[in-house]
Amino acid sequence: MKTKRLMLGNEAVARGLYEAGVRFVSSYPGTPSTEITEYAAKYDEIYAEWAPNEKVALEAAMGAAVGGARAFCAMKHVGLNVAADPLFVASYTGVNAGLLIAVADDPGMHSSQNEQDSRHYARAAKIPMLEPSDSQECLDFVKLAYDLSEKFDIPFILRTSTRIAHSQSLTELGEREEKPILPYEKNPAKYVMIPANARGRHVSLEERLAALREYAETSPVNKIERASDNKIGIITAGVSYVYAKECFGDTASYLKLGLVNPLPERLIREFAASVERVIVIEELDPVIEEQVRAMGIACDGKNLLPVVGEYSSALLAERLLGKKPETVRLDVQMPPRPPVLCPGCPHRGVFYILKKLKLTVSGDIGCYTLGAVAPLASIDTTFCMGASVSSLHGRNIAIGDEKTSVAVIGDSTFVHSGITGLINMVYNGSKSTVLILDNRITGMTGHQQNPCTGLTLKEKPAPELSLERLCAAVGVDEEHIRVVDPNKLDELEKTIKEELDSPCVSVIICRRPCALLKYVAKKKPYSIDENKCRACRACMRIACPAISVSENGKAKIDDALCTGCGLCTQMCRFDAICE
């Protein structure tokens, strides 16, 4: 009997990689894609690594695939922006052994700065894209993707979304099929993309796409499910399929597209002709709908459904069937509960000081983005990975704000794409100050190793990237590369003030490990001496979740939350916070 297990979509993707004989995985973490690579790393048969960013990861995977080993690379939707450069050429060169890129979209922005729709990339880069609806399909589609990638000589994209990546459903496991490394043959006309060769490869790409369009018409992953009548026909894919099915059940027919690029035109025409009303149901942008309309087929879609946010069966029931559920609500103002920096977080002191000094703060992507949330509320801008450094440079050259502005960027994000911004600062004579919040781990995505941590994805020792030496190497004056413990508030404040006054680029490395790391020992929790507490609320300014105000107005510390980091003791002028 075959084993069936409850599996996270991401785990099922990793299982698919294992069963498909994949040998090489390179990725950069990003919610909701991260666990694919973590699960893949558990298989001894798969080499898996964290790359410094998605572009490096995809290029590494391309190298492995052209070399003859089945290769893979995972990223979140915005990671594909970083990897877009190699992506657009990978369709031209094609592969040798199969190449698959998993991209996880985040409708509803559970943990992202935008909700871009990756299907546009599949069309723009001319790469076929599969979209699973549950964990079983995650596994099956991965295996199919490798066979098709080799058959059609083109990389494939597997598109998931948060609810597929992070939902568990029953998945049947198979065996690994070992794939020997394919022979590599030198073929510059195929792999050297100079204009003379690329012209030929573009012609080849269009031929390969035409063959794929033909394949799409009969692919087993594009399925029609018939209702007993022909009133409603729904064209859908991915997680939208399960919402549609939950809402309409057997009262509608479905064309469920597993291959979302290229679309099967004849199949769509045939399906549309067989029903009275066509509804296209897809989260985010009308990617399928616009192509259906371009075929001259009348349909409903974004005229009734939003382009913003996540869908659900309830949303479909309300918008398409006019049904609203019966609910109980309390007539009470409920305070929101936004995410916050954890108790003991080494970033807390940094944002307290930046707010105290009233600085303009160019922010970046990571846990420390939470420094934007009240009451610390000290971040002015957050764009994308690495933008803190490069955008601060532009600001300061343009408006001369060097004395009152800083960039903050995490260790992993700095290595991902902050280094080039720092090189630009040095090269073009900036006087800006950059704070690298070095918490010795990639934090927000759930503790992944990176080049600064001294360990690989498989927990093997690795050379530890020295941020100090790196900054010196790109030309930052060594006197202006400072290392501070961000929990020592006085020293941190003094260092920031000194470097804001410096006539050149400064880097302040705020180094303290993430409080959630296993090797970081929790200290004894602090408590409030009520006789000494004057209820001045000074300790509240650091916004620690462990500190609140009791009914008598005095501070109180939750001993279940307090990590004993001692930051609050530096806030109290009355020595009321004691061990």
How far apart are CB 161 and another protein at their closest, in Å?
A: 11
How far apart are CB 504 and another protein at their closest, in Å?
A: 35
How far apart are CB 127 and another protein at their closest, in Å?
A: 26
How far apart are CB 553 and another protein at their closest, in Å?
A: 11
Q: Which is nearer to another protein, 94 or 486 (CB)?
A: 486
Q: Which is nearer to another protein, 306 or 475 (CB)?
A: 306
Q: Do residues 77 and 31 touch, judged by C-beta distance below 8 A?
A: no
Q: Do residues 533 and 555 touch, judged by C-beta distance below 8 A?
A: yes
Cis amide linkage into residue 32, ω under 30° from 0: yes
Task: Give the span between the Cα atoms of 165 and 159, in whole angstroms.
Answer: 10
How far apart are CB 182 and another protein at their closest, in Å?
A: 36
Give the count of beta carbons closer than 10 Å to the beta carbon of residue 44. 8
Nearest 5 degrees, angle CA 101-CA 106-CA 111?
Answer: 115
Q: Do residues 369 and 31 touch, judged by C-beta distance below 8 A?
A: no
From first CA to last CA, the distance across the chain in angstroms is 59
Q: Do residues 238 and 283 touch, judged by C-beta distance below 8 A?
A: yes
Cβ-Cβ contacts under 8 Å for 207 (sequence gap 6 or more): none
* DSSP reduced 3-state for 381: strand
How far apart are CB 139 and another protein at their closest, in Å?
A: 15
Q: Which is nearer to another protein, 136 or 197 (CB)?
A: 136
How far apart are CB 526 and another protein at their closest, in Å?
A: 16
Q: Which is nearer to another protein, 394 or 513 (CB)?
A: 513
Give the count of beta carbons closer than 10 Å to the beta carbon of residue 455. 14
Q: Which two tokens stand for residue 367?
A: 């846990």
Q: Which is nearer to another protein, 207 or 558 (CB)?
A: 558
How far apart are CB 512 and another protein at their closest, in Å?
A: 17
Query: What are the b/e assignments for 265-295, b being 16+ CB within 10 Å?
Result: bebbeebbeebeebbbbbbbbbbbbebbeee
Kind plus residue range of the DSSP H or E element containing 256: strand 253-257
How far apart are CB 340 and another protein at their closest, in Å?
A: 4
Q: Which is nearer to another protein, 47 or 351 (CB)?
A: 351
Alpha carbon 85 to chain centroid, angstroms: 18
Task: Give the span between the Cα atoms of 364 and 385, in whole angstroms.
Answer: 6
Nearest 5 degrees, angle CA 543-CA 345-CA 163?
Answer: 95
Give the count of beta carbons closer than 10 Å to the beta carbon of residue 428. 11
Alpha carbon 180 to chain centroid, angstroms: 32
Q: Which is nearer to another protein, 71 or 557 (CB)?
A: 557
How far apart are CB 243 and another protein at their closest, in Å?
A: 6
Q: Which is nearer to another protein, 8 or 359 (CB)?
A: 8
How far apart are CB 173 and another protein at their closest, in Å?
A: 14
* DSSP reduced 3-state for 74: strand
Cβ-Cβ contacts under 8 Å for 354 (sequence gap 6 or more): 361, 371, 378, 406, 408, 496
State which amino acid sits at residue 272: A
Pairing mode of beta strands 129-130, 156-161: parallel
Q: Which two tokens stand for residue 506?
A: 């400064």
Residues of the shown chain interacting with another protein in the complex, contacts defined by CB under 8 A:
6, 8, 31-32, 34-35, 110-111, 134, 162-163, 166-170, 242-243, 245-246, 312-315, 325-330, 332-342, 367, 370, 373-375, 444-446, 537, 540, 543, 545, 547-549, 560
Q: Which is nearer to another protein, 340 or 462 (CB)?
A: 340
Q: Which is nearer to another protein, 129 or 557 (CB)?
A: 557
How far apart are CB 336 and another protein at their closest, in Å?
A: 6
Cβ-Cβ contacts under 8 Å for 177 (sequence gap 6 or more): 19, 20, 21
Q: Do residues 422 and 434 touch, judged by C-beta distance below 8 A?
A: yes
Q: State phi, psi for 39 to the nearest 5 degrees.
A: -70, -40
How far apart are CB 65 and another protein at their closest, in Å?
A: 29
Q: Which is nearer to another protein, 35 or 105 (CB)?
A: 35
Burial of 541 per CB tally in 10 Å (0-12, 13-18, 19+): middle
Q: Which is nearer to another protein, 197 or 381 (CB)?
A: 381
